[in-house]
Amino acid sequence: MNSFQAKFSHLEAVGSWEMEQSSVTQYEPVAEIGVGAYGTVYKARDSRSGKFVALKNVRVHRDEDGLPASTVREVALLKRLERFDHPNIVRLFDVCATMRADRETKVTLVFEHIDQDLKTYLEKAPAPGIPAETIKDLTKQLLNGLVFLHSHGVVHRDLKPENILVTSRGQVKLADFGLARIYNCQMALTPVVVTLWYRAPEVLLQSTYATPVDLWSTGCIFAEMFCRRPLFCGKSEVDQLEKIFDLTGLPPEEDWPEDVTLLRNAFTSRPPQSVKNFIPEMDDLGASLLLELLIFSPKKRVSAINALQHPYFLGQSSEV
């Protein structure tokens, strides 16, 4: 047994990665779903069950001992989370590894297939858009999914409408979480640019970050469900920050991270604006929640579990 096989066998032995005796040939691609920054996603049919699944192929460069330990840890974590079968997390059915060219392995992740993401859901909504109570329900489900991920030490890091799936019954399922480190080696293989529009300030400034980045992204998505367009459409990191400060105001000096090269004095001072100026469709309680999600300092930003306790979710929100 070589080191590559041994690493997979060890995972099976400890129960971290319950590899089934299947290969990628069990899944027959029937259509290309979409192309993103991390590669192509296919709709496929499971020849054993007859059900549709979604395939994500990841090319991973092997080190001398086989697959990099970081990749093994990430996939093991995904499989471990699968045991909880959380209603707001997309299911990972299978993982198949195929040896390819020298020092490369193709890892195929087999997920449950859901027909639409939140971006498509919003585009399909007839005028004047999604009802306020539906937005509240979708946001609550999104936060419930984040509470689960964060409680298990998982930061999504790339939360956006395309990574939030919505079933035909309105059930939200988070997808593509925990995959950023697996995909790092593949980032240069596609011309698709990862959008800046949902990135937290600490990410834009290239500072340290943790679970609060997902709450910032949630705020951007929450606003987009009301106005049916992205809240901050920057063309660069600096432009994105400018657009953020147009709403939130320039943060105080004490909140500016110390470990960044872009200084606060590079931006014009400005006061915060009313949420109603940007999103007139949002009521007062929704605006209050949004401002807690869009706090510049990650230390002061609301957590997922505390956001669920916000008055916005506790009663009937009034229409503007």
- Please give the positions annotated as active site: 158
Q: How far is CA 316 from CA 122, 136, 201, 286, in A?
A: 22, 10, 32, 11
Reduce the DSSP state of residue 117 to 3 states and report it. strand
> CA 247, CA 278: separation in Å to the nearest integer?
8
* Residues 187, 19: Cα–Cα separation, whole Å: 26
Q: How far apart are the first and last CA of the chain?
A: 67
Nearest Cα to Cα of residue 77 among 158, 14, 163: 14
DSSP string, 274-296: -HHHH-TTS-HHHHHHHHHHT-S
Residue ranges with strand state E in 11-51: 27-36, 39-46
The set of residues, in sequence order, having a beta carbon less than 8 Å from that of 39 and lying 6+ positions away, is 56, 57, 58, 183, 186, 189, 190
